[in-house]
Structure 1
């Protein structure tokens, strides 16, 4: 079973690396090794499960891809009817919600759109409830996220959730509720929404009310950014979701209570042994708790793993823990092969595997606290390579934090929360605070302890993503370090871990320059790297109080590149799409010097004539001149970076007036690479300016299907007439250019790291 499960997983992971789903003919080729290994039944079994995993994922993923929104329907006014699929999430610009489409039309013609879409509605009077049927006019587009090294893959996230289109609700005509009655299909969602509302009413404005609601129904929207940050720094995020740990707690508690109660009058009531009854009752209780979270993917995995463990009791079989884990792994992948795209899949299975491996045969009479501490050590060390590989960070205080927090949550906070939720479910809202308020008191006390741990100087380790070979070495190291006492050369595991921390990412050689135009949508953010220095030019937009390009794109990129400090940060001017991410960047990295093109952004003002040299690469600020300083777009900083292998010109949002001044001033404008002024707007890129620059490569930092329709067709035509090669961030993702002895090499991250779920290149 263990070999079969690993082979099935391997087949899935092979397909996950493909830019397009393999054809049936390609999958048939995988059967060829069977003919070569027919004399070895075990090898044949492994190959068959490998092929089965690849085939199963190809089939399931193909069904989802068939739901992709037709390109011709993007940006059109569509009339859709359907059901509110889940609890709407409030934001600064209205509600976001998932919508199950029953019918769709373009004008008078029926059209086919994906079954589930993600919508937003800015109407303050829009107050839908789960399961209601609505008619609304929407504009949709295909899933399309930022694609940058080290960044979050939003398209993968939507694909895993089976969402193949997203958009917004039009104001006119207004959305119309057709049927306030609810179908049975959405019964669980209605219960979750109603329970959350009543919990908030009971708890009021208590500091940790959002955490209590999350533990009760899986709705985490009430948890503040500060609370999330503390949980991340202490490695305790898993405690505030209806996770496998909490589900196992509920199942275990009900198992022992049901077993005791069933055996009270005698061992065999209705000829059903008490352990079997307890196992069934425990699973049903766990399933009910998972339902409160809407049966999201983490709870599905936990239920499958629990079903395997409790099934062994029902079948009266004694299976090795590794066999139970392998069986659960296989069943989870059969149920949902796309689970491998979720970090939670790897975190849950690796954590359990580390515990099983570290505590096997642990019968040495150690105290309960010592054994619990050993478990936390095993989980902390076993998860370290995975956390650095997935998130480029790991909590160093996690073992100590979980040593204290897990018992507090699972023995006190969660039971009190469930008791309070049960009282509310029984209509006893008046006495529910007797359980819920003590739960918030416990969280207040625990929060002060976790806050102290989070404030420690090295509470969280953050670094670049290790190379794959370094991760492989680290796995060997953790296996050695977690081996039982008496295992030879356990201490050598430390040596195997060293590449995880000591091997640095590649960097430019002396005299070389690496330039990256990041994909931040309708905005600008770029990074220039020399051998020992780094410059950030603009930081993208701030989209809301909880999301900005600085923290979502720029910071992860710099971290994965191994950059620990920024020598110069240039904020070309004060527009949000250029400066909105600056606070996040300044909070994450020490910055030696800031140049600003706006009085609203602190720093040394950009002025023509500023210049410096790094590692054989020259930097020169060409503008703005004093008369244009602070004049909105025309007051943008203009930076020219030149090396022996090529030149880049960064022009911010300058328009015709600033371009004319640059020509009159006679400053050197010739550049091999030009970041198009003002995103390719027709107010810029005047013929005279282009004639002076004569770029061979032109980069357009624009958003996918942006409302400004940048770049303008007339501007594109001017560049094409010059014979320049054109690139844009929606098609290419982050645009990476290396200036070295070979000349200029340009690559797009989206194309280089393409997977089958990513959008194909197309116009902005």
Structure 2
């Protein structure tokens, strides 16, 4: 069973690793090989893998549905749909999932279809939205789109996992109409969850940890602040602050024990149904109810699947092997939703159970209770570290110690008090309030300890090892956690070394690398030499919880093995250039900051950039060409940087426009010549003049814009000037992060954009 489950998993992974989604007809291939399943041993495992591949393909076509067609992207369509998720508060509105039921008469042509589910934002004044409500809304639709940078978060992949085929915002709020309420069970569950979130917010008001209790009660993690998430991640306790398999198992155990205790005390009931079987039903009801509060997230699906198998064996009076139970749970989760393999929670959930089973079962000596608790925390903390480093670029070295304190406190005190309030809220609201207040007090007692541990200098471990280092690391952990009688267990430490000290990209003296990151309508670039790193602009800040610095620049640098920025240059203080700087300064060591407004960037070595400054790193020359002394802080005053080496040169002009370009052309003349030009001001109509293009005379132009941006960048007149001069243009909005290597002896080497190099079938 275990090998068959792994073969099925491999088939699903192959489909979701494909750059393009195959046609549905390929699913018929499984029907050809299935008859050979029992008769040809060599075909058995490929047949199971093909079955997994085919099921994932059918699910992607028929269940997930196609994404929004390009012809409808950017169009206004009046739709009828049902709110099918908990509304999430935004800085200027609310966001929610909308299940499309139909469109207004004549809104679409006969050949056009809409995706089944859309992620909608409603900005400005909006009514209170309740899950299950049916609305008629006019939406401005857009195809799923997100940043594509090495090491960065795949937003398009997240939308696909959640079943969203498009994003949208409400275009005409005045015409929005509420059409009624859907009474199906799933929407009733969502309404209960939304009601709990609202009720807890009213009871706990502005207390700091209300978001954590809402996550434990209803699976709504939107109220947890970024600072709290950082503390949880740095201590490795973030898995506790959501409804997880641990909590579902705890509820099942409580339900089993309570029903068993009560059933045995009523002889009439015990005669009709044995108390043990009644307790099995009670355990499943409690676990399923708690999982429903979480919206049946991936960890709860896995936990429920394992509980059904284990309790089914208990019902039948049989003993199920733990590994077989885990394999059955794996198949059940993949059959319910093959997209689960794209969720980090899927891998962490099964890996946690698997590593604990490996380290705790099959031993000759049975450890005591306290030894078992300590060993489980040690095994889970160490065993999951390679996965968390590869998936999230960080891990926690004190996770076993922090979880040793947090797991029993949250499981025995916080969760029962929180759920006690949930159960009592319809009957005794005042008792429920006291339960939630007590749960909040319990979290507030735990939190200072977690913050203290997170502040230890060696607590958080941030790195981005390559994916290939995961396999030797897992083999090394298998040796380390093996029984003591196994010889040469110390070899496992050697297998961990590639992940502990990943190799940095090797650049030779005189060679440098330019990377223009995909940050939407903004600019963030990285220049790397052999031993130094320069960041030129940091991209925009979109909201208090999201900016290009933390979403693109920091993950990319860690992916490249660079934990220090030798010099940060911010061309000027417009948000689309400076917005990500605070997050970068908080996350990485920065040697020096050059900008037009040093007072806006709190750093000990922050100063103005001025024309005439020159320095060399590893055989590469950096020259600041603009602005002269006395200029202000606007587009025309942007810091203009020229980088040159034996392999070529690049000009980074920020947002200079006509005046700044004229000053550059007159003051620098032939000194502006460069092989690569980053178009000024995102290729706006008021930039990239003929005089500048003629003086720079680039062989390649780059421009950083947002996909389908409303400003129309780059402007058609600029594109025409480039076409006349036969200068090719590349844009991260279409290519993903762009990497250009300047190699002595080879010249300018342009690498494929990250959107193409790491393409999956859900990417636009």
Q: TM-score, normalised by structure 2?
A: 0.95
| Corresponding residue number in structure 2 for 1:750 | 755
Deviation at 1:631, TM superposition (A): 4.4
| Corresponding residue number in structure 1 for 2:657 | 655
- Select between 493-502 and 298-307 the one with higher mean Cα deviation: 298-307
Deviation at 1:137, TM superposition (A): 1.6
| Corresponding residue number in structure 1 for 2:676 | 673
Q: Distance in 2 between matches of 1:311 and 1:390?
A: 34
- Change in Cα spacing, 1:355 to 1:60, as seen in structure 2 (3 Å) is same
- Select between 20-29 and 252-261 the one with higher mean Cα deviation: 20-29
Deviation at 1:388, TM superposition (A): 1.1
Question: Is 1:506 equivalent to 2:508 in the alignment?
Answer: no
Deviation at 1:197, TM superposition (A): 1.4
Q: Distance in 2 between matches of 1:665 and 1:329?
A: 67
Query: In 2, are the aligned partners of 1:209 and 1:440 still within 8 Å (CA)?
Result: yes
| Corresponding residue number in structure 2 for 1:320 | 321
Deviation at 1:265, TM superposition (A): 3.9
Q: Structure 1: state its 5+ residue gaps.
A: 760-764
Q: Distance in 2 between matches of 1:34 and 1:682?
A: 61
Q: Secondary structure at the match of 1:207?
A: coil
Q: Secondary structure at the match of 2:515?
A: strand
Deviation at 1:39, TM superposition (A): 7.3
| Corresponding residue number in structure 1 for 2:259 | 258
Deviation at 1:280, TM superposition (A): 1.8
Deviations 1:12-59 (A, max 9, x none): 122222111234676788999999999763x43212111111111111
Query: In 2, are the aligned partners of 1:31 and 1:48 still within 8 Å (CA)?
Result: no
Deviation at 1:742, TM superposition (A): 2.6
Q: Secondary structure at the match of 2:430?
A: coil
| Corresponding residue number in structure 1 for 2:711 | 708
| Corresponding residue number in structure 1 for 2:619 | 616
| Corresponding residue number in structure 1 for 2:463 | 463
- Change in Cα spacing, 1:188 to 1:35, as seen in structure 2 (3 Å) is closer
| Corresponding residue number in structure 2 for 1:725 | 728
1:183-194 superposed matches below 5 A:
183-194=184-195
- Select between 111-120 and 169-178 the one with higher mean Cα deviation: 169-178
Deviations 1:641-661 (A, max 9, x none): 111111111111110111111
Q: Distance in 2 between matches of 1:264 and 1:35?
A: 54
Question: Is 1:640 equivalent to 2:642 in the alignment?
Answer: yes
Deviation at 1:682, TM superposition (A): 0.5
Query: In 2, are the aligned partners of 1:656 and 1:683 still within 8 Å (CA)?
Result: yes
Q: Distance in 2 between matches of 1:517 and 1:249?
A: 48
Q: Distance in 2 between matches of 1:282 and 1:431?
A: 25
Q: Structure 2: state its 5+ residue gaps.
A: none
Deviations 1:645-700 (A, max 9, x none): 11111111110111111111134111111111100100101111111111111111
| Corresponding residue number in structure 2 for 1:45 | 44
| Corresponding residue number in structure 2 for 1:564 | 563
Deviation at 1:255, TM superposition (A): 1.1
Q: Secondary structure at the match of 1:72?
A: coil
Q: Secondary structure at the match of 1:54?
A: helix
1:267-286 superposed matches below 5 A:
269=270, 271-286=272-287
Deviations 1:586-609 (A, max 9, x none): 111111111113355342211111
| Corresponding residue number in structure 1 for 2:156 | 155
| Corresponding residue number in structure 1 for 2:685 | 682
Q: Distance in 2 between matches of 1:106 and 1:78?
A: 11
Q: Distance in 2 between matches of 1:183 and 1:267?
A: 36
- Change in Cα spacing, 1:599 to 1:396, as seen in structure 2 (3 Å) is closer
| Corresponding residue number in structure 2 for 1:431 | 431
Deviation at 1:369, TM superposition (A): 2.0
Deviation at 1:174, TM superposition (A): 4.2
Query: In 2, are the aligned partners of 1:202 and 1:429 still within 8 Å (CA)?
Result: no
Q: Distance in 2 between matches of 1:497 and 1:47?
A: 31
Deviations 1:88-134 (A, max 9, x none): 11111211111112222486556631121111111224322111122
Q: Distance in 2 between matches of 1:410 and 1:632?
A: 54
Deviation at 1:379, TM superposition (A): 0.7
Query: In 2, are the aligned partners of 1:267 and 1:274 still within 8 Å (CA)?
Result: no
- Change in Cα spacing, 1:184 to 1:318, as seen in structure 2 (3 Å) is closer
Query: In 2, are the aligned partners of 1:598 and 1:635 still within 8 Å (CA)?
Result: no
- Select between 293-302 and 681-690 the one with higher mean Cα deviation: 293-302
Q: Distance in 2 between matches of 1:588 and 1:301?
A: 34
Q: Distance in 1 between matches of 2:700 and 2:622?
A: 19
Query: In 1, are the aligned partners of 2:682 and 2:705 still within 8 Å (CA)?
Result: yes
Question: Is 1:335 equivalent to 2:339 in the alignment?
Answer: no
Q: Distance in 1 between matches of 2:39 and 2:80?
A: 58
Query: In 2, are the aligned partners of 1:135 and 1:176 still within 8 Å (CA)?
Result: yes
Deviation at 1:370, TM superposition (A): 1.8
Q: Distance in 2 between matches of 1:435 and 1:363?
A: 44
Deviation at 1:425, TM superposition (A): 2.5
Q: Secondary structure at the match of 1:488?
A: coil
Query: In 2, are the aligned partners of 1:34 and 1:44 still within 8 Å (CA)?
Result: no
Q: Distance in 2 between matches of 1:38 and 1:113?
A: 42
Deviation at 1:571, TM superposition (A): 0.1
Q: Secondary structure at the match of 1:584?
A: helix
Question: Is 1:113 equivalent to 2:114 in the alignment?
Answer: yes
Q: Secondary structure at the match of 1:255?
A: helix
Deviation at 1:264, TM superposition (A): 3.0
| Corresponding residue number in structure 1 for 2:629 | 626
Query: In 2, are the aligned partners of 1:466 and 1:501 still within 8 Å (CA)?
Result: no
Query: In 2, are the aligned partners of 1:573 and 1:596 still within 8 Å (CA)?
Result: yes
- Change in Cα spacing, 1:651 to 1:349, as seen in structure 2 (3 Å) is same
Q: Distance in 2 between matches of 1:332 and 1:745?
A: 45
Q: Distance in 2 between matches of 1:133 and 1:715?
A: 46
1:107-256 superposed matches below 5 A:
109=108, 112-171=113-172, 173-179=174-180, 183-256=184-257
Deviation at 1:283, TM superposition (A): 0.9
| Corresponding residue number in structure 2 for 1:2 | 2
- Change in Cα spacing, 1:600 to 1:175, as seen in structure 2 (3 Å) is farther
Query: In 1, are the aligned partners of 2:24 and 2:58 still within 8 Å (CA)?
Result: no
Deviations 1:488-530 (A, max 9, x none): 2222211211121123132311111111000000000000001
Query: In 2, are the aligned partners of 1:393 and 1:461 still within 8 Å (CA)?
Result: yes
| Corresponding residue number in structure 1 for 2:442 | 442
Q: Secondary structure at the match of 1:177?
A: strand
Deviations 1:299-340 (A, max 9, x none): 222212221221221232212111111111111111111100
Deviation at 1:270, TM superposition (A): 5.0
Query: In 1, are the aligned partners of 2:573 and 2:633 still within 8 Å (CA)?
Result: no
Q: TM-score, normalised by structure 1?
A: 0.95
Deviations 1:698-745 (A, max 9, x none): 111000111111111111111122111111111111001111133222
Q: Secondary structure at the match of 1:219?
A: coil
| Corresponding residue number in structure 2 for 1:397 | 398
Deviation at 1:182, TM superposition (A): 5.0
Q: Distance in 2 between matches of 1:739 and 1:373?
A: 53
Q: Distance in 1 between matches of 2:515 and 2:35?
A: 48
Q: Distance in 2 between matches of 1:115 and 1:467?
A: 34
- Change in Cα spacing, 1:113 to 1:270, as seen in structure 2 (3 Å) is farther
Query: In 1, are the aligned partners of 2:596 and 2:633 still within 8 Å (CA)?
Result: no
- Change in Cα spacing, 1:35 to 1:119, as seen in structure 2 (3 Å) is closer
Deviation at 1:65, TM superposition (A): 6.4
Computed over aligned residues only, the root mean square deviation of the Cα atoms, in angstroms, reads 2.2
Query: In 2, are the aligned partners of 1:566 and 1:592 still within 8 Å (CA)?
Result: yes
- Change in Cα spacing, 1:35 to 1:113, as seen in structure 2 (3 Å) is closer
